[in-house]
Structure 1
Amino acid sequence: MTQNTYPRHLAVIGGLGRLASADLYNKLVKALAIRGETDRYRLTLEQQQFVRPLGSNLEPADAGQRALYLYDTINLLAQCQAEAVMLPCYISHTFMDELQAEMRVPILNMMTALVQHVERIGNPQRLGILCTSYVREKALFERYFPGKTLHFVPRKTHQDWVVPAIYGTHGLLTEQNNDAIGQLHLACNELIEHGAQVIIPGISEIAAVASTLAERGLPIIDAHQVYVDFSLAHRNLYRAPKFKLGIVGGIGPAATVDFMKKIVRSTCAERDQDHLCLIVDHNPQIPDRTANLIGDGADPTLALYSACKRLEANGASAVAMPCNTAHAYIARIQPSLSIPIVNMLSETVRHISNHYAGHKKIGLLATSGTITSGVYHDAAHGSAFELIVPDSEHQAMVMEAIYAIDGVKAGCTEGRCRQLLVNALEYLVERGATVVILGCTELPLILPEQLNFEVAGKPVVLMDPTAILAKHCVALGSQGVDQQSGPVSLSDFLCETGS
């Protein structure tokens, strides 16, 4: 199916209140039928049981266990490809921000729906709220309705009609609930007596019987119908959660740690929470990329793909691979992923074109696998500069600097490995290179990025693709999928920036 005809998958979490969720789901089905959009939505009602005592006259205030239950349930729905979740539970909305921060699937906000509805019906200033004491203590309605005069029932000095009407031995959740509607009617009358112009059911079970109370002439909002209309009308709410960067690590291990350090250094932050969320799949057992590309070494494609899929399953918005040679396998992997791999090589070429225009020859120090695969040359195709590489003698020096027993992959960054790398660098400079790409992520551990590194009396720019990738990923996190700024697609952002 094309994107325009593929049904949107909307899920309702029902285990927290079966009466409420059944009412919401029923109204959702009816609304789609009226709109003629039944075939455009796939609906799921998740009724996984959340156990709580009934008939005790005690309201539920188990927010901690509720949060864990929701985490597991929403992740289960994510595995079923749910596109958005509806959550008819006011207690859960008291910790909505914390919950959403951990979820890949967006949770449609019932309180936002109510705010917009109140504004649409004339924006009354005096609101009556039927809610539990827990919701009131958490100031949920004060947070969403600042400046409004709010009247709550129950009040400390008055009889509590609300909690027994829901959770008591004759409440709505029991079979003997004949008195429940009458008790709720009394609670609504008290709110009206104190000036409430509109009544909002701050308990989802009351929302399920709002139409019955409205038939008695009470000015109560059908919160579930409002929630349904809001969820179907606001397509832009079906957007990606907060940006999380997935990192395919272990290729190699030191380069992975170096890349993460560069992400931290590239982030303008005043506190821990200003940094990117990183998900790292660190697997040094991924077969050597160069051994496969230039010899008969094991193919790393499946291992790289498996790492990307694990990152995808854990909520990554994009994937970074701090290994130049591994980019030779992106063309095989990317078509089967739903999230993009940020191309370090393309970003490096773009950086050169933007900041070093006029440099005619760009040198490349990289593994023989990277050079043989031609991935840098492909990335540089059509650029205004010529990409040059070492001859076979000096390329052997680069490989020794990386793979020898005293090379960088063995943990050495000084001595012979450094001299071998400088020798290869001198060869490129003598051939006219004025900028040299350190095209293996371990090489900057030997020769860090520098703007004026002198070789044989000539200045040369040493360019670190890992640092360029880190800065670009930080930019993606702040600009590409900012949850608060709107429904920006990361893939669209990558297209706009030319990745």
Structure 2
Amino acid sequence: MERPNAPSHKASPSVVRYGVVGGLGAIGSADVLLKTVRAAQYCKPPGGVDIAFEQRHFDDGPGIAAEAYDPLRRKFYVYNVLKDMQGKVENAMVPCFLSHTFLAEITPEISFNVVDIFDALLARIRRDYPEVRKIGVLTSSYVRASGIFEQRFGEPEATQDGSLATAGGLEVIYPDATLQRDALMQAIYGPSGIKSGHHGGECLQLLLEACDDLVSQGAEIIVPGLSEIPVLMESLQPLVPVPLLDSNLIYAEYALGVDRERENRNFKLGVLGGVGPAATVDFMRKVVSLTRAERDQDHLKMVVEQNPQIPDRTANLIGKGEDPSIPMLATCQRLEADGANAIAIPCNTAHAFVARIQPYIGIPIINMLTAVVDHIAAMQTPVTRVGLLATSGTVTSRVYHDIIEASGRETLVPDARCQTQVMEAIYGHHGVKAGHTTGECSEHLQAAISHLLARGADVIILGCTELPLIELDAALRERVALLDPAEILAQRCVALAQAEA
């Protein structure tokens, strides 16, 4: 599946757009923004960098300095700001260590890359301090209690030859509990602290006391885990006998050089539904049943727009019905905006319109018809004649004919009388779209299958996604392979998700 070139209304791909989530500490966020702007001058992509800074009023109150701080409001703030950036940036920065303790809950719901501050720090430690084994950390009491530094720095990381990487497996050291409370937290959150606008004097002395304690414990480098501390780098570093990392600058430089593709993101399938409604539900059930899973979290993420108001595809193809192209495109664009990696359309006839809309979206539409023909080619018994039972719109459009015949096979369709029966089985008062799966619709479909068998069909495509919902005699099913395009599409979607993983 090749992605088409982006249409002219999209932003130039050579300009990389960044968003910085502010408001989580105004001073620290502003420092990250300033250092990002400066860093962009010497490590920007060829087309340039756009940087958007989003800061809204957000006040956590004094409780943020406590180990028992509740980050719920902050979590919703970060999620809402990132969600509003969707479609406007390719990369976002969250310059707040506390927010990175819960960021993994948010990033699966965001369709662009959120740069990980711990990845940035580990990359710098690997590069500049490969022999270091003990790092001192200056962070909030809540972040300290969360254990995230131990989780991200303490786990050994294997290299390609099986040995341990130089970063990972690090010992994390914090200030003495009393200094944590009375020195470090006061230096940031106290009345003479950085958050109150003080950049020297008492707050500098308190930070120095915390640093000295880390050095006495054997810290070889010190990592600020609060975005406010690097604001005092020029004053603090000359007083500390070990390297003090500028975590804000490291974060900015890493973000500007980070891979633009989304990394380690869960695959999300977009489903253009409602064409028809029952077929959409059936398709989702098939995706679930075909996924190997031992728990809920092993299943595919799906975002579905069930839009039965999309005009009837057959009515447009065989008559003067309204064109469904724009409603289909709008639905696909909403699925893309919601973070889908690819789109499935569980409707055979709708594929007659896919070529029109694919150039205007940046993610692929998985072609159900191509998947069906690929499935036929992989069958053990050679197939030369393919029977097709579908809406008159699908038959008239020849979307199946063209793909089947390009594969060197013949397409067989019912004669006019039998095609009328197929349409009755789908659209009739007692048809499947009216909610029926037995009786008259079953009789019509069985007659059409027998008709194609008599003409020499080796396999038969049930080329309307509602047709497989109709009950058939077991003896008839044994006579010929009846292909369910929705099931084949579901198989293709599951395989794509596994390949992405």
Q: TM-score, normalised by structure 2?
A: 0.89
Q: 1:53 to 1:384 in 2, by over 3 A?
A: same
Q: 1:55 to 1:73 in 2, by over 3 A?
A: closer
Q: What one-letter code is carried by the residue in structure 1 that aligns with 2:216?
A: E
2:252 alignment partner, SS class: helix
Q: Any idea what the Cα deviations from partners look like across 1:430-463, whole Å, max 9, x if unmatched?
A: 1110100000001001157999824xxxx21100
CA RMSD of aligned residues (A): 2.4
Match of 1:170 in 2: 192
1:359 alignment partner, SS class: coil
Report if aligned partners of 1:451, 1:462 keep a CA contact under 8 Å in 2. Answer: no
The Cα of 1:333 is off from its aligned counterpart by 1.3
* One of 50, 67, 82 as aligned partner of 1:74: 82
Match of 2:310 in 1: 286
Ranges in structure 1 where 5+ consecutive residues have no aligned partner: 483-499
Q: Percent identity?
A: 42
* One of 346, 349, 354 as aligned partner of 2:370: 346
Correspondence 1:351-390 to 2 at 5 A: 351-355=375-379, 358-390=382-414
The Cα of 1:39 is off from its aligned counterpart by 4.9
Give 4+ residue runs of structure 1 displaced > 4 Å after superposition: 1-5, 36-39, 54-60, 156-159, 236-240, 447-452
Partners of 2:311 and 2:125 lie apart in 1 by 60
Partners of 2:135 and 2:494 lie apart in 1 by 44
The Cα of 1:474 is off from its aligned counterpart by 0.9
Q: 1:53 to 1:417 in 2, by over 3 A?
A: same
Match of 2:330 in 1: 306
Q: Any idea what the Cα deviations from partners look like across 1:185-240, whole Å, max 9, x if unmatched?
A: 11101111121111111111113323431122442111112212222233255558
Q: 1:408 to 1:321 in 2, by over 3 A?
A: same
Report if aligned partners of 1:361, 1:433 keep a CA contact under 8 Å in 2. Answer: yes
* One of 83, 86, 106 as aligned partner of 2:90: 83
Correspondence 1:56-205 to 2 at 5 A: 61-80=69-88, 82-120=89-127, 121-146=129-154, 147-156=169-178, 160-177=182-199, 178-205=201-228
Match of 1:433 in 2: 457
* One of 244, 254, 270 as aligned partner of 2:278: 254
Partners of 1:448 and 1:473 lie apart in 2 by 27
Q: What one-letter code is carried by the residue in structure 1 that aligns with 2:96?
A: C
Match of 1:487 in 2: none
Match of 2:40 in 1: 32
1:127 alignment partner, SS class: strand
1:287 alignment partner, SS class: coil
The Cα of 1:241 is off from its aligned counterpart by 3.5
The number of equivalent residue pairs is 476
Partners of 1:164 and 1:176 lie apart in 2 by 12
Partners of 2:183 and 2:336 lie apart in 1 by 48
Q: Any idea what the Cα deviations from partners look like across 1:293-315, whole Å, max 9, x if unmatched?
A: 11122222222222212212222
* One of 228, 234, 243 as aligned partner of 2:267: 243
Match of 2:157 in 1: none
Q: What one-letter code is carried by the residue in structure 2 that aligns with 1:203?
A: L
Partners of 1:217 and 1:380 lie apart in 2 by 73
Partners of 2:234 and 2:305 lie apart in 1 by 51
Q: 1:230 to 1:259 in 2, by over 3 A?
A: same
The Cα of 1:376 is off from its aligned counterpart by 0.8
Q: 1:159 to 1:272 in 2, by over 3 A?
A: closer
Partners of 1:361 and 1:41 lie apart in 2 by 56
Q: Any idea what the Cα deviations from partners look like across 1:372-409, whole Å, max 9, x if unmatched?
A: 11111122242121111111111011001111111111
Farther-moved stretch of structure 1 (229-238 vs 184-193): 229-238
Report if aligned partners of 1:154, 1:161 keep a CA contact under 8 Å in 2. Answer: no
Match of 2:57 in 1: 49
Match of 2:165 in 1: none
Q: What one-letter code is carried by the residue in structure 2 that aligns with 1:141?
A: F
Q: What one-letter code is carried by the residue in structure 1 that aligns with 2:297?
A: Q
The Cα of 1:123 is off from its aligned counterpart by 3.3
1:351 alignment partner, SS class: helix
Report if aligned partners of 2:405, 2:411 keep a CA contact under 8 Å in 1. Answer: no
Match of 2:160 in 1: none
Q: TM-score, normalised by structure 1?
A: 0.90
Q: 1:227 to 1:423 in 2, by over 3 A?
A: same
Does 1:11 pair with 2:19? yes
